[in-house]
A and B are shown apart, each in its own frame.
Chain A
Amino acid sequence: MTRSSVSIVDYGIGNLKSVENMLVRAGADVVFARTADDVMQADRLILPGVGAFDSCRRALGQVVGLESALHQAIGRGTPLLGICVGMQLLASSSDEGVLPGLGIIPGRVRRLSLEGLASGRPLRVPHMGWSSVEPVGLATLFRNGLDSVNRFYFVHSYYFDCENAEDTAGVAHYGVRFAAAVEHGNVYGVQFHPEKSHRYGMRLLRNFADLTVEAAND
């Protein structure tokens, strides 16, 4: 069996090296998709993202043809995983910015509220630290053990509020119960950083690298 190839979308945003390091550790071959053509030829796509929603959205828009290539690749079944702001970009819109999202998974990105309480103490935003994620629904990426024990590293001030409950693949709590993972056909998103989440993150990326176009279409 050949090693799975995963393409990280490089649109000038994010710490791609950490994602690459963890994918290699998970046994995948890593390439970088820097053009629309690269995206069209990818077996699997990872869409990273850090920082502000609009700056990610703008950077993505600056690569010629990238947005339509992403839509086309998804349309023909290529598995795609958005990480952190890369996940938020899949939404329709965000409280954080004025630019529209890619509108791939219906929903709005909302700000975590400081009003929530954890053990009687005020919460600080961003939510920075480890949380466990309770898989719900299909939770394809949480197979092979992650459905019983897991912990993932989060750094975020916003969360994905899915319009359709069935698109939520995992929930975590931080003041609110929020979608820590989404899944819609062959499109996946995680709010946390699997590349920085020890063996749990490695397993999740391995699960993603094991997906194929055929499996996504079944």
Chain B
Amino acid sequence: MIDGPVEFNPFRVIPCLQVSNGRLVKTTGYRNPSYVGDLINSLRIFNEKEVDEIAVIDVSATREGRAPDLGMIREMAGECFMPLAYGGGITSLAQIEQIVSLGVEKVILNTAAFASPDLITQAAALVGGQSVVVSVDVKKRWLGGYGVYTHSGTKRVPLALPEAIDAVVQAGAGELLLSEISLDGTLQGYNHALIKSVSSRTTIPVIASGGASGIADMVKAVRESGAAAVAAGAFFVYRGPHRAVLLSYPNARDVWAHITETGG
């Protein structure tokens, strides 16, 4: 029996798309981007599917030392009649103001957030903390614990994970997008222990990301591991063992059915 409003998901389910040089791509472990399709067409399709929210990250901007592509962002915002979050190459308050004025609800900071947490504070004061998402990208360390990375997973921050979380939360981040880099694009399932440890450390919403294997995995991330929302990339853009491109989004009824099955 389904005991909720089945017209929509019980928590936010967020396609997290990657773009490189204006094209929609999908990486594996933040590397080897493969072409998925046209960005704007893909956004239109997700808009028609009435997704809860969408995130787009320009994975080449910081790496190539480029500022956010405002023309592309304007075009993206014109297609999204749901909340849109943008990340990639953001380094200044002026850029954040411009991006928000184009019709983007949230900015996602990573490299700049850890290099200068002041930017988080200033951005929160300018556009509201709810619009400032910090992307926390982690890798397991040989001796246990996690390293936190910036620059698309290539540079390690000199802070342990708990201290890195505290730093960005204290600076005023409104939300954390938490990803284990090695799981990106693998469809192997979220790292639930990681989600649990981060979401129990803070009261701001944590979005689980990296490796989503399916609806049951998403439900588990929220109901058992404490995430407020879930994001996925490969799960929404590929289908089948040969990774054929097919954009999809779960039916809310299926999400509720998993909750009922697990007695959640």
Contacts and interface: CB of A to CB of B under 8 A. Distances in A.
A18 B79 CA distance: 10
Interface size range on B against A = 20 to 34
Contact of B103 (A17, A119, A197, A201): A17
A48 B174 CA distance: 21
A21 B8 CA distance: 23
B49 to A, nearest CB: 10
What's the dominant secondary structure at chain B's contact region? loop
A193 B84 CA distance: 13
Interface stretch (A29-37, A101-109, A122-130): A122-130
Contacts, number: 79
A143 interface: no
Name, among B81, B228, B229, the residue most crowded by chain A CB atoms within 10 Å (CB to CB): B81
Interface string A191-202: 001011111011
Contacts of A198: 47, 50, 81-82
Interface residues of A, number: 32
A21 B52 contact: no
Contacts of A16: 101
What's the dominant secondary structure at chain A's contact region? mixed
B9 interface: yes
Contact of B128 (A51, A119, A124, A129): A51
B105 A196 contact: yes
A15 B101 contact: yes
Given A21-B103, A196-B105, A130 B81 contact: no
Given A22-B81, A51-B127, A17 B5 contact: no
A22 B101 CA distance: 15
Contact of B81 (A119, A126, A201): A201
Given A129-B229, A155-B130, 17 more contacts: A15-B100, A15-B105, A16-B101, A17-B77, A50-B131, A124-B228, A128-B130, A129-B11, A151-B7, A153-B53, A153-B82, A155-B83, A155-B105, A196-B81, A198-B50, A198-B81, A201-B81
